[in-house]
Amino acid sequence: MKIAIMGYGTIGSGVAAVVEKNRDSIAKKAGEPIEVKYVLDLREFPGDPVQEKLVHDVDIIMEDPEVGIVVETMGGVEPACTFVKKALQAGKSVTTSNKALVAKKGTELLALAKENHVSFLFEASVGGGIPIIRPLNQCLTADEIMEITGILNGTTNYILTKMDRDGADLDAVLKRAQEKGYAEKDPTADIEGFDACRKIAILSSLAYGSQVDFEDIYTEGITGLSALDFKYAKELGMAIKLLATSRRAGDSFYAMVAPMMIGEDHPLHGVNGVFNGILVEGNMADKLMFYGRGAGSLPTASAVVADVVEMAKNPGETLLTSWSSEKLPLADKGTWERQFFVRMEGKRAERRILVEEIFGEVSYVEIPGLDEFGFVTPRMTEAEYEAKAAQAGGVIHMIRMAQ
């Protein structure tokens, strides 16, 4: 099987390395040797053995009948989408690590693959090296998925873990993360939650079988968090994690990305640093945890090459996913029930009566020497919380409690 890699960046070069390093075992599992015939990139790589396979014109790949599988590791929606469409129409199966492409165009590309009797797979687009797409697609098909909650972004998890351990503020930790290469020069997509939002949209589309548009998902990043929030979390015996979550509640579906307080007994509590963790709850299998490296060259490439092997084993077939083109409407977040941690201006003794009149039976958490106090509300809907917070006034910051 001859393959082509489009994009020789972190992941594309990892794919070439995995194919080379595990050549023999991959050949056994695929039933035939896998060979990289072309690498598409705008750049030159003098001295790199890939230089001999380098092409700058995508049509060389598309017009070569020997190439049966195309790997897309360019990132971004365009020109990746145009190139992937060309490959599918040319009768080549495609695997991609590109969550922006899958979240935006997944439905269309899956349909195009089916029309052309080829496959479109995307194991590496969520959770890097963690197998999560295939388990949802193949292993959990006897279950109705009730919930998916994940720490799906390594950059922010690294930052939050550092803020927790060092008592530092976001700006200082972000700067260090950028120096170490754990955060991009422009970290917006990570710290504003956009990356996690696309990933939970993909997982939810697979889990619930209908298209979840990432634009419909309420998304809050980590930029509102400060060192003081982590002090309160410690007092509560909790951690703060950026959770991407979706849940089935009867006939309704919710989805959200937001920083949340999670207790020690929560399975995602121990997912620290750059690691990702994904908790899936099925109505039969109950709770399952997937843990591993959500980014990085070789872990992500491992997932890409696993797709290549799967496609090489099933030539001329469309490997089906449960993702239909029907849109899944999400319920209004105002109706989602949970508890809320609230930081409020003033002294607890002075505001206690008002707080309890409005919010009901709360549990307080205080840090000595501050002109503010914290409390955890009883369970209520987001809409109820918002109305009560507006009525009480003086809310400095609210963090949702994980369910």
Would you say 118 or 132 has its CB closer to ligand HSE? 132
CB of 128 to ligand HSE, least distance (A): 6
The token duo for 27 is 């050949």
Would you say 71 or 295 has its CB closer to ligand HSE? 295
Would you say 68 or 154 has its CB closer to ligand HSE? 154
CB of 184 to ligand HSE, least distance (A): 7
CB of 295 to ligand HSE, least distance (A): 4
Helices H / strands E in the chain, number of each = 14, 20
Would you say 183 or 365 has its CB closer to ligand HSE? 183
Beta bridge partners of 149: 245, 279
Would you say 153 or 211 has its CB closer to ligand HSE? 153
Peptide bond into 259 cis (omega under 30): no
What is the Cβ-side half-sphere exposure of residue 228, based on CA atoms within 13 angstroms?
18
Given the residues 199, 241, 287, 327, the one annotated as active site: 199
**For binding to ligand HSE (CB under 6 A), which residues are involved?**
128, 153-155, 190, 195, 294-295
Would you say 16 or 244 has its CB closer to ligand HSE? 244
Calpha distance 277→289 (Å, rounded): 7
CB of 225 to ligand HSE, least distance (A): 17
CB of 124 to ligand HSE, least distance (A): 9
In 3D space, the residue among 259, 228, 229, 223 whose CA is nearest the CA of residue 244 turns out to be 259
CB of 148 to ligand HSE, least distance (A): 16
Calpha distance 186→136 (Å, rounded): 32
In 3D space, the residue among 227, 226, 231 whose CA is nearest the CA of residue 366 turns out to be 231
241 is catalytic: no
Which residue's entry shows tokens 């170490």?
Answer: 180
* C-alpha distance from residue 38 to each of 34, 57, 74, 356, 389 (Å): 12, 10, 14, 67, 58
CB of 153 to ligand HSE, least distance (A): 4
* C-alpha distance from residue 103 to each of 194, 197, 236, 391 (Å): 11, 9, 36, 38
Calpha distance 196→354 (Å, rounded): 37
Which residue's entry shows tokens 């990356």?
Answer: 195
Burial of 290 (0-12, 13-18, 19+ CB in 10 A): middle
Beta bridge partners of 281: 147, 287
Would you say 14 or 128 has its CB closer to ligand HSE? 128
CB of 21 to ligand HSE, least distance (A): 22
Would you say 171 or 186 has its CB closer to ligand HSE? 186
Which positions are catalytic? 199
